Amino acid sequence: MEHKFQTIESVLGIGFKTVALQKQLTKKDTITAEHSEVVGKLCASITQEMIRQKKDIHFSMLEAYIAGSLHDIGKLKMGDEILKGKHAIISPKNNPSIRIHPLESYKILNENGFESKIAEAALSHHERWDGSGYPNALKGNQISELANLIGIVDTFSALTQKRTYEEKRTEQEALEILKKDSKLFNPDMLEIFFQFMEKHSNTFRSSF
């Protein structure tokens, strides 16, 4: 497996850029920044578990963390009236402009020299297994495995975080919603997520 991060200098450079973008997101909206940090760390932890189990994956813990923590970086381009608005405003169903943020994430990550698989995972994290997602209505194996992982973790984190437009759900409630909507996600990746949460649900929030 080849990685763009081949030298200490390149790793440090991407690290500095990651932190700089995270700081910008925190300044823009702390709720989105906190959510993104949880997504990044949980994606990295699940990836570590997959590597330990010798799963055939094509991304590293570092790539999972960066892609997860910056998947919503495109929201830097959104107006506060949308980003911090009521549910009727922020819902992608009611406000198609929300659907642009994955494309903006892709642009920002590309412009800052992040690896293509990271930028493409951010672009596709709202794509769904059955083709009902956005921005490109990809389906099945058209969606990268890293984007599949982020999509699941992003959904879980969003459900379990208090938002300006919605009360948070318990972890069990969020897991039940994911099971109910299982057709939306890669079945193999979803099963890995469920197994991880069954094993680590009592510790992952406190450790993050």
pLDDT for 179: 97
pLDDT of residue 109: 98
Token representation of residue 112:
């800052």
> How far apart are the C-alpha atoms of 55 and 189, rounded to whole Å?
11
Enter the tokens of residue 130: 């059955």
Q: Given this model, what pLDDT does residue 58 score?
A: 94
pLDDT of residue 9: 66
- pLDDT of amino acid 1: 42
pLDDT at 11: 73
pLDDT at position 204: 58
CA 150/CA 69 separation, integer angstroms: 9
Domains for the chain: give ranges and CATH numbers: 29-207 (1.10.3210.10)
- Give residue 203's pLDDT: 63
Q: What is the pLDDT along the chain (208 residues), one digit of tens a residue?
A: 444 445 776 777 889 999 999 999 999 999 999 999 999 999 999 999 999 999 999 999 999 999 999 999 999 998 887 777 655 455 555 567 788 999 999 999 999 999 999 999 999 999 999 999 999 999 999 999 999 999 999 999 999 997 766 678 999 999 999 999 999 999 999 999 999 999 986 665 545 5
* Strand, helix or coil for residue 166: strand
Written as six digits, the tokens of 153 are 């973790």
Q: What is the pLDDT of residue 75?
A: 94
For CA atoms 56, 178, 155, 185, the dihedral sign is: positive
DSSP 43: H
